[in-house]
Chain A
Amino acid sequence: MRQMVGVTLKSAGYEVLQACDGREALELAREQAAVDLVITDVNMPNMDGITLVRELRMLPHYRGVPLLVLTTEASVEKKLEGKAAGATGWVVKPFSPERLLATIARIVT
C-alpha cells in the first residue's frame, strides 16, 4: 500500500518520505521539520494509524499539518475515532489515484 501511494504521489511531482510503520513515522516527525501532508494507514505494526495521528497532533510543528487516514474501515465509529484523534480526512480503500491527488491539491497549500 505504501508503495502504491508513493507511486501515485511521485507521478504528480511530490517528494515522498516513507516510514514502514507508525512508530518509525513518529520518530521521523520528531527528528525533522514538518512535512506538508501525512498519509497513514490504520492497520500497521507497532503503532496503528489513529494513535499516530493523535501523537502527531501533540507535536507543535504538526498541529496544522493535514493528516489523511487511508483505511479499509468504512464504519462510522472508526471514522469518528479518527476525526477525534485529529485526522483531516478519511480515505476508504481502494483509493483512486486521480481522486486522491485532487484531494491533496485542495488541502496542501
Chain B
Amino acid sequence: MHAFDYNDAAQAIAASVTQIELAVREAQPAVEELGALIEAMAVGLAELRALGTGGSDSVVEEASRAVLENRLLQLEQHVRGSIVQLQFYDRLVQHLHHVGNYLDGAAEQLCNPRDGNADAWEGLRSVLRERLITDAQRELLDAMIPPPGRIQSTGVHALDEHAARGSIELF
C-alpha cells in the first residue's frame, strides 16, 4: 500500500469519528429539552389528578375548572414542544447515515484502490460534504480534511441553514 493511502485512510477515519462525536453533541440539547418537557407534562398530569379528587363545593369546582383548562393548554403546548424536539432524531440518523456511507467508500477505496487515488479520496470527501446538513458539520470536515480549493460559500450555507430550519414555503 502506498504511503498516502495510510494518510488518506487515517484522515477519513479521524474525520468520521469527529462527525459522529458532533452528531451526538448536536442531539444533546434536544434530548435535554425533551426530558424537561416530559417532566413538565408529568407534573401537569399529577396536578390534574389532584384536581379530580377535590371537593364538590361549587366555588372550588369553578376554580378547579379554570385551573384544569389552564393545565390542559399547558400540556398541549408541552406535547407540541416535544414534537419539535423529537425531530432531532431524524437529523441524527441522517448525519450518521452519511458518515456510514463515507466509511463504506473509504473501505472500498482501501480494498480496491482506483487509478487517480488522490482524486478518489477527494471525491469521497466532497460527496460527504455535500450531504452534510449543518454548517458546523461542514466546517468540522473542512478542518479535519481541508478541501483542495478555497470554499467560498460557507457563510452563505450558514445563512441558508439558519434561515431555512423550521421554514414552510408554498410554491
Q: Answer yes or no: B79 CB below 8 A from chain A CBs.
A: yes
Q: Check if A72 sits within 8 Å of B170, measured CB to CB.
A: no
Q: Check if A97 sits within 8 Å of B170, measured CB to CB.
A: no
The answer to whether A90 and B169 touch (CB under 8 A), given A43-B94, A72-B90, A74-B161, is yes
Q: Check if B168 sits within 8 Å of A103, measured CB to CB.
A: yes
Q: Check if A93 sits within 8 Å of B170, measured CB to CB.
A: no
Bound together, the chains give a CA A95 to CA B164 distance in angstroms of 11
Q: Which of A73, A79, A97 contacts B83 (CB 8 A)?
A: A97
Residues on A with C-beta less than 8 A from B76 are: 11
Is the interface on chain A under 10, 10 to 19, 20 to 34, or 35 or more residues? 20 to 34
Q: Check if A94 sits within 8 Å of B84, measured CB to CB.
A: yes
Residues on A with C-beta less than 8 A from B167 are: 90-92
Scan residues 28-83 of chain A and give those whose CB is less than 8 A from a CB of chain B: 43, 72-76, 79, 83
Q: Check if B171 sits within 8 Å of A92, measured CB to CB.
A: no
Scan residues 122-170 of chain B and give those whose CB is less than 8 A from a CB of chain A: 133, 160-161, 164-170
The answer to whether A97 and B80 touch (CB under 8 A), given A72-B94, A90-B169, is yes
Closest beta carbon of chain B to A4's beta carbon, Å: 5
Residues on A with C-beta less than 8 A from B161 are: 74
Could you tell me the dominant secondary structure of chain B's interface residues? helix
Q: Answer yes or no: A18 CB below 8 A from chain B CBs.
A: no
**How many positions in chain B have a CB within 8 Å of any CB in the partner chain?**
23
Q: Check if A88 sits within 8 Å of B171, measured CB to CB.
A: yes
Q: Check if A100 sits within 8 Å of B160, measured CB to CB.
A: no
Q: Answer yes or no: B91 CB below 8 A from chain A CBs.
A: yes
Q: Answer yes or no: B87 CB below 8 A from chain A CBs.
A: yes
Bound together, the chains give a CA A107 to CA B165 distance in angstroms of 21
Scan residues 73-112 of chain B and give those whose CB is less than 8 A from a CB of chain A: 76, 79-80, 83-88, 90-91, 94
Bound together, the chains give a CA A97 to CA B83 distance in angstroms of 7
In the complex formed, the residue of B with least CB distance to A90 is: B169
Residues on A with C-beta less than 8 A from B83 are: 4, 7-8, 97
Q: Check if A72 sits within 8 Å of B171, measured CB to CB.
A: no
Q: Check if A107 sits within 8 Å of B170, measured CB to CB.
A: yes
Q: Check if B90 sits within 8 Å of A1, measured CB to CB.
A: yes
Bound together, the chains give a CA A33 to CA B161 distance in angstroms of 38
Q: 9 new A-B pairs (CB below 8 Å) besides A72-B90, A92-B167? A: A4-B86, A7-B83, A74-B165, A90-B171, A91-B168, A92-B165, A92-B168, A93-B87, A99-B166
